Amino acid sequence: MGAPPILELCQLDKAFGKIVIAEGIDLSVSQGEGLGIIGPNGAGKSTLFNLIAGDDRPNSGDILFDGRSINDMKPYQRSRLGIGRSYQIPQPFGKMTVFENVLTAAVFGSGTTVAEAEDRCIEILHRTGLMGEVNKPAGRLTLLQRKRLELARSLATRPRLLLLDEIAGGLTEVETQALINTIRDLRETGVTLIWIEHIVHALIATVDRLIVLNGGRIICDGKPREVIQSPEVRRIYLGVEPE
């Protein structure tokens, strides 16, 4: 018997006016599972994260976390439940230092005291390679550093379900490998991971399962290597016509 689901999306629909972003999405993610999401731009990947984290509300359908509906919960309530997220376009607290950004997430996301959280923040900043910028205002970071901060801040909330949105973009091969190692170590702690990424080999190295979104629908769901080999995925996502 597999692990119980931590997240279930049931017939989720979302449209902005006439533009359909999610259509009848059914998805179940087990506790401790690593799920990768790929799809072309505009496929609805980030909107799916917004629906799970509460930044957007679905037009219809249900979102269950630990078997309980979270449809009516606000983003801060979902964060406190254990849903941590990063943003595709980094959203730093610009005038606060890098350390204060992570500290704020640790204090309010995981409900610890400031003194307790300080030690853990230093550890996370080391892990994410931001110790050199620890006292710099987050608004002055480069794009790459901002992406690292997104990961650091989401880790600081002690998430049970971590939603990572394209954090590997712009990394060198060596940096990507280091990120893969970090994500693997993180997964060993039991965190459930959903990772949207265009760097497919990073996903293959870290997740158990891969889904492909296109036009707001899941068009393929399975083991990462099998999904990548699927003719339909190669045609839609990679632009490779089947022979």
Q: Contact residues for another protein (CB under 8 A)? A: 53-55, 74-76, 79-80, 84-85, 87, 91-97, 99-101, 103-105, 107-111, 113-115, 118-120, 122-123, 126-131, 134-135, 148, 153-154, 156-157, 171, 175-179, 181-182, 185
Minimum Å distance from CB 53 to another protein? 6
Cβ-Cβ contacts under 8 Å for 32 (sequence gap 6 or more): 3, 187, 190, 191, 192
Minimum Å distance from CB 40 to another protein? 25
91 or 230, CB closer to another protein? 91
Nearest Cα to Cα of residue 1 among 31, 34, 35: 31
31 or 91, CB closer to another protein? 91
Minimum Å distance from CB 220 to another protein? 29
Nearest Cα to Cα of residue 85 among 162, 191, 192, 157: 162
96 or 205, CB closer to another protein? 96
CB 49 within 8 A of CB 154: no
38 or 179, CB closer to another protein? 179
Describe the strand order of the beta sheet including 83-85 as a list of residue ranges: 83-85, 161-165, 192-196, 34-38, 209-214, 217-222
CB-based burial label for 200 (10 Å; 0-12, 13-18, 19+)? middle
Minimum Å distance from CB 136 to another protein? 11
Minimum Å distance from CB 125 to another protein? 8
38 or 117, CB closer to another protein? 117
Alpha-carbon distance of 192 to 5, in angstroms, equals: 10
Cβ-Cβ contacts under 8 Å for 117 (sequence gap 6 or more): 103, 106, 107, 110, 156
Minimum Å distance from CB 177 to another protein? 8
96 or 204, CB closer to another protein? 96
In this structure, which amino acid lies at residue 139?
Answer: G
